[in-house]
Amino acid sequence: MALHTKLFLSLFLLSSCLATLITSSQGDYRFWQQQFPFIRRASSFSSVSSSKSTRSNGGEKKFDYIVVGGGTAGCPLAATLSRNYSVLLLERGGVPFANINVSLLSNFHLTLVDTSPASASQFFVSTDGVFNARARVLGGGTSINAGFYTRASTSYVKRVGWDAKLVNESYPWVEKQIVHEPVFEPWQRAVRDGLLEVGISPNNGFTYDHLYGTKIGGTIFDKYGRRHTAAELLASGNSQNLHVLIHARVQKVLFDTTGKKPRAIGVIFKDENGVNHEAFISRRRKSEIIVTCGAIGSPQMLLLSGIGPKEDLKKLNISVVQDNKFVGKHISDNPLNTIFVPLNRPVKQSLIETVGITKMGVYIEASSGYSQSPDSIHCHHGVASAEIGQLSTIPPKRRTQEAIEAFKQNKKDLPHEAFHGGFILAKLAYPKSKGHLRLNNTNPDDNPIVTFNYFSHPKDLQKCMKGIKIVEKLVRHQSASYCYDVGQVHGSADFKRQIREIRRNMK
């Protein structure tokens, strides 16, 4: 299962030595403060909490809504609510603006290999042994991901019980502000043609809609290679009602437990100087605290706040506000297999643009051309470096320090031409395998303990093998589409080796 990972994890194999470009997630303050005057550092918040009290003294400003987590969900939610209500949005990281590691497509991998405290991504390893990353920046995952945009399928909207009319009316609001049609580089074109030739049809062309067949989706990178994140959606809010604090690390949600049911009333957060602050919602009947910290951060925040399995909370001396055995349970991650297709010349860089949407629950995607400088295979950025990568030939449970050193030693003499090429990715949609999350300690800055239990459900394994068979057809086909403006495919033995490794690791 060593190759079942996210796109960016595979790209660690190709990270460059442009260490000088790694900058703070704070970005250039002067660049963005004029456009977003409501974004301020957390230390500017006036109410400093007392060590003797966690209750309001009635003097500080209260908000109709407090949104914890300024990511892909938190930013548009805060902007929308601010049209009619006062909103406080708290983000633990800095801003993506003017941070060249976040803003430039060409630097996509640099934020992911930057494991410093100032990085826009926070590195973590699940107990399954798979390397991963969490966003730690305003804009959330849209600031560190591969930038692919598509609408949800109609069946998904129906299954989760959303109002289909409202959903369809909401899409254009996002698309007009941050989504673009991709440049559509040659490798993407080649994979699209290959998908159609092996039967992933019809050709749906460029579309935001989720349709069976092969399509070109949207991207949040514009034609100049600049990323546009969910943070930019905040510009649609009412600046008089919207208050955004960066480097505001929420410690927990505060509750009033004097009534029949616990009621969320505020939060405690630390600013960039480590000083504690309290913020409270108003007594308006519908005022709420909304937790949008992502799939990892949201259950972690609930547990830290005393909502979760009481036995687990008591072990860490966390006061139980609400015993709920489901918090942290049934967590899942989309397994991904990646095949690298070597070519005899450099390939233009592209992130995810082409996708084959199959009826068997597998998506086939494409990317290409990362960090093909002569130095790219020699640099070292720590545990998530080019030398270590995802250690694709070593199963996760066997990634010892000795194995890492041996991998680095064997890789150091590879010529950079070996990394000319593109990726074909096979990803499972809606995995049935479920895992769990529990606290490692009571420090919200630390990662919780996460287990995804990849392929513990037999149907996920079956879908994975179907996806690999599609990829195998693609690389065996070697049609003219692979030569069109890209370069001749070479290294068929390498294709076979990668397929064999995937199959071996799946056993």
Q: Is 489 annotated as a binding residue?
A: no
Q: Is 497 annotated as a binding residue?
A: no
Are residues 104 and 227 in contact, defined by beta-carbon separation less than 8 angstroms? yes
d(CA 295, CA 318): 21
Torsion on CA atoms 299, 302, 303, 308, rounded to nearest 10 = -90
Are residues 98 and 32 in contact, defined by beta-carbon separation less than 8 angstroms? yes
Give 4's Cβ-side CA count (13 Å radius).
Answer: 29
285, two tokens: 């009947």
Q: Count the Cβ atoms, other than its own, within 10 Å of residue 317.
A: 7
CA distances from 159 to 162, 164, 351, 465 (A): 8, 11, 30, 26
Are residues 304 and 249 in contact, defined by beta-carbon separation less than 8 angstroms? no
Q: Count the Cβ atoms, other than its own, within 10 Å of residue 246.
A: 25
213, two tokens: 């067949």
Pairing relationship of beta strands 263-270 and 276-281 according to DSSP bridges: antiparallel
Q: Is 102 annotated as a binding residue?
A: no
CA distances from 218 to 31, 67, 425 (A): 27, 28, 18
Phi/psi of residue 188, each to 5°? Answer: -60, -40
What interhelical angle do 492-506 and 458-477 show, nearest 10?
170
399, two tokens: 């990634």
Q: Is 169 annotated as a binding residue?
A: no
Annotated binding site, which residues?
A: 91-92, 137, 250
Q: Which amino acids are annotated as binding site for FAD, given as ranges?
A: 91-92, 137, 250
